[in-house]
Amino acid sequence: MSKETIKTEELRLEGLHCADCAVTIEQTVAKLGGVEFVKANFTAGKVKIDYDPGQLGHDDLVRSVEKIGYKVSTETHKNLEKKQIWQEREFLFTLISGLLLGLGLGVQFFTTNQALFEFFGRSVTVSVFFYLTSMFFGAFYFSRQGWASIKNLRFNMNFLMSIAIIGAIIIEEYVEAASLAFLFSLAELLENYAVERARNSLRELMRLSPEEARIRRKNKEVALPVAEVRIGDVLLTRPGEKVALDGEVIAGASSVNQAPITGESVPVKKEVGDKVYAGSINVEGYLETRVTASSENSMLARIIHLVEDAENQKAPSERFVDRFAKIYTPAVIVLAVGVAVVPTLFFGALFNPWFIKALTLLVIACPCALVISTPVSVVSALTNASRNGILIKGGVYLEEMARVKVIALDKTGTLTKGCLKVADVVPLNGLPNDELLRLAASLEIRSEHPIGKAIVESAGDAKLDEVQDFESIPGQGVLGNLGGKKYRVGRPELFKNLTDELPIKQMQALQKNGKTTMLVGTESEIIGIIGLLDEVRQGAIKTISKLKKAGKEVVMLTGDNEETARAIANQLNISHFHAALLPEEKVEEIKRLQEKYGKVAMVGDGVNDAPALAAASVGIAMGAAGTDAALETADIALMADDLTKLPYLVDLSKRARGVIRQNIFAAILIKLSLAVGVFPGLVSLVIAVLIGDMGASLGVTANAMRLARTNPEE
């Protein structure tokens, strides 16, 4: 089958609220002929399927999912309404189950409870009839999922609960069976509600961009659904309105609140040529923008897509839970079988009491709360981070960030603003300042480096020579022919084979004031020095202080010279720095830090620092909203050029690790305590469901939701 024939489809599901449910869906759909790949994501409530449209279609996929008890939603995730719990059909069935259970108990204890009929030699009384109908409504949904689990040989909660109910019916413990069906149905309903609350924070992001856009076509203003707007259309945004689509300003000026994308609390000034993002708010002026991306490919849509993908990545603690569950569940099932059989066969004990204890162990055997303990914590943390302008690519990076001992930061563009300006022009052979700057700019006009751009900008309207045989040497500088003569602009390393007479004193005088120095010369002599100044970012000093208080070692890495690096490091109170590093040397330095300290995070621009970011335990790119490369290469992306988000990221990762550990410990402790309590008769079937399933699941979910309320200011 060729890749061209494969079709990919995503189904939004209602009722998907646990990891085991996701696995059951995957196994069921995978059995369909023509399915190449299937992945269910319970935290996002969706399943992604790659299939051959020649062998099956959309309706086949929907039927395969709905026959095991899940409903496929035709609405987009963005347009899903926030349903109240009592609006769900599952709530109605659970309510009926509870009422019938109550009627059965009332009839049994307060009436004569007459027999209605006999069934297979058993007398069916009025109360038993109520109990059986209560079981039907209570088990209506999870029994179908339990049957699918049986066919796939998965001992999950639906399967184990179904077996427990059937077992209780066999020994005529109808009250226990009906109670199990009702309470487990209630537990599933509440768990689904809790998981939906975790999803709502991501849905709020989806609802940030408007449904309609006002476009100018043929000199007329028309309102269109965003899906019908074409790239290149002119979007009109009035003061107070939300920007409907990504674009570039072609007319007007305004301040725009782009907090949904970058997390910046202060509106950003936008003028002609600047980018604007869907979901941001036009604060004051009138803007006309040329649409640069469709609604499906907007920066906000990409962030949401990356967050959903990140939710599907298993964190280290989640993998531990999976390994634990693979041992724990079969072990408790074997124990339950032993409890049902051994006392009666070998010690002459009554069968029914021990069989009830075995069924109780079956209920306790499924680690449902344990399995969801990590994913719901990760979802809450990731969506919180995305609302604050930080995109974390997965739970693995969230947990790795909590383990980081060292944070290495690039200097230019990270600790400093990256807006270099020429501060000094020092001729060494009598050449006029303007001429020296013009020659340097004539070479740098072909360069993409920030230093080169600063030199060209400083030259202003000067007439530049056309450069021939241009060459850029990474980490050193540029060279080329100007008017038949070879010139060079760059670091001292670019001149080391040409002359031993470097203007050391003049260079050091500039560098001690935090200036970056570039030499200008020919093949035979150095004709001048250009000093450039880059300001330290606002809030950088406070950020470094907070990182140190959080117990992180802070290291500065830079390709700049030793003296300039020292001046900036002193200004920021950074005691450890490494200067004059080429890109590959930054990678080596990251590896040395890892050998010495362990986990290391690298913070850079995501483009020039891509090798170092890839080598680090966690790569963090700044200003990712403006660069596709940063979004793709970084493990964590700070959407704005805002260094002050780093302490919040460190704090969030620590809190997330703490909550995950609390959830895992609590879930294991509850399960083991209940298992021990079964033998002396302290734990009944009802208590096992109330505490071991419903209580534990709601408890870990509520604890995880605290991460959604973590604020940068805290």
Residue 455 reports pLDDT greater than 90: yes
Residue 482 reports pLDDT greater than 60: yes
In the CATH hierarchy, which fold is given to the domain comprising 389-416+536-647? Rossmann fold (3.40.50)
Lowest mean pLDDT across 95-99, 372-376, 572-576, 677-681: 372-376
Give the whole-angstrom CA distance, residue 4 versus residue 228: 26
- pLDDT value of residue 91: 84
- pLDDT value of residue 364: 84
- pLDDT value of residue 72: 85
When mean pLDDT is compared over 197-201, 318-322, 672-676, 686-690, the highest value belongs to: 672-676
Residue 524 reports pLDDT greater than 90: no
Tell me whether strands 234-237 and 287-291 are parallel, antiparallel or unpaired: antiparallel
Catalytic residues: 410
- pLDDT value of residue 606: 61
Collapsing DSSP states into helix, strand and coil, what is residue 19? helix
Q: Which residues, listed in sequence order, are joined to residue 220 by a DSSP beta bridge? A: 217
What mean pLDDT comes out for the span 587-608?
Answer: 89
Helix 58-66 vs helix 19-30: angle between axes, to the nearest 10 degrees?
130
Write down the pTM of the prediction.
0.76
**Residue 222 half-sphere exposure toward CB, CA atoms < 13 A:** 12
- pLDDT value of residue 181: 87
Residue 2 reports pLDDT greater than 70: no
- pLDDT value of residue 108: 83
Residue 76 reports pLDDT greater than 70: no
pLDDT tens sequence across 537-550 = 888 999 999 999 99
Output the CATH code of domain 421-533.
3.40.1110.10
Output the CATH code of domain 3-74.
3.30.70.100
Collapsing DSSP states into helix, strand and coil, what is residue 172? coil
Give the whole-angstrom CA distance, residue 136 versus residue 182: 9
Output the CATH code of domain 212-297.
2.70.150.10
Are 253 and 269 within 8 A, CB to CB?
yes
Closest CA to 477 of 461, 502, 458, 496: 496
pLDDT tens sequence across 487-520 = 999 988 888 888 778 898 999 999 888 888 999 9
Collapsing DSSP states into helix, strand and coil, what is residue 49? strand
Lowest mean pLDDT across 20-29, 98-107, 333-342: 20-29
Residue 420 token pair = 């270099």
Closest CA to 180 of 10, 360, 319, 309: 360
Q: What is the strand order of the sheet 287-291 is part of?
A: 220-225, 212-217, 234-237, 287-291, 247-252, 275-276
Topology match between the domains 389-416+536-647 and 421-533: no
- pLDDT value of residue 343: 92
Residue 264 token pair = 């910046």
Which carries the bigger pLDDT value, residue 24 or residue 215? 215
Q: What is the DSSP letter of 413?
A: I
- pLDDT value of residue 202: 62
- pLDDT value of residue 311: 63
Residue 3 token pair = 């890749």
Q: What is the DSSP letter of 538?
A: T
pLDDT tens sequence across 368-417 = 778 778 888 888 888 888 888 888 888 889 999 999 999 999 988 889 88
Domain limits, the chain: 3-74, 212-297, 304-340+367-388+648-714, 389-416+536-647, 421-533
pLDDT tens sequence across 128-183 = 889 899 999 988 877 777 776 666 666 667 777 788 888 888 888 888 888 888 88
Give the whole-angstrom CA distance, residue 540 versus residue 41: 39
- pLDDT value of residue 438: 94
Residue 586 token pair = 């930054």
Which carries the bigger pLDDT value, residue 288 or residue 156? 288
Are 558 and 483 within 8 A, CB to CB?
no
Q: 703: pLDDT confidence band, cut at 50, 70 and 90?
A: very high
Q: Which residue has the tokens 């869906």?
A: 25
Are 489 and 519 within 8 A, CB to CB?
yes
Q: What is the DSSP letter of 415?
A: I
- pLDDT value of residue 554: 96
Give the whole-angstrom CA distance, residue 213 versus residue 423: 46
pLDDT tens sequence across 207-255 = 777 888 999 988 889 999 998 999 999 999 999 889 999 999 999 999 9
- pLDDT value of residue 572: 94
Q: What is the strand order of the sheet 71-73 is part of?
A: 35-41, 46-51, 7-14, 71-73
What mean pLDDT comes out for the span 539-565?
Answer: 92
Are 698 and 196 within 8 A, CB to CB?
no
Residue 685 reports pLDDT greater than 80: yes
- pLDDT value of residue 169: 86
AA letter at 191: E
AA letter at 426: V
Q: What is the DSSP letter of 692?
A: I
Q: How many CB atoms lie within 10 A of CB 550?
A: 13
Residue 201 reports pLDDT greater than 70: no
Residue 80 reports pLDDT greater than 60: no
In whole angstroms, how far apart are CA 629 and each of 264, 297, 471, 478, 626?
A: 21, 15, 24, 24, 9
Q: Which residue has the tokens 């070479």?
A: 443
- pLDDT value of residue 407: 97
**Residue 307 half-sphere exposure toward CB, CA atoms < 13 A:** 28
Q: 553: pLDDT confidence band, cut at 50, 70 and 90?
A: very high
User: What is the rounded average pLDDT for all residues in the chain?
Assistant: 85
Are 280 and 324 within 8 A, CB to CB?
no
Residue 636 reports pLDDT greater than 70: yes
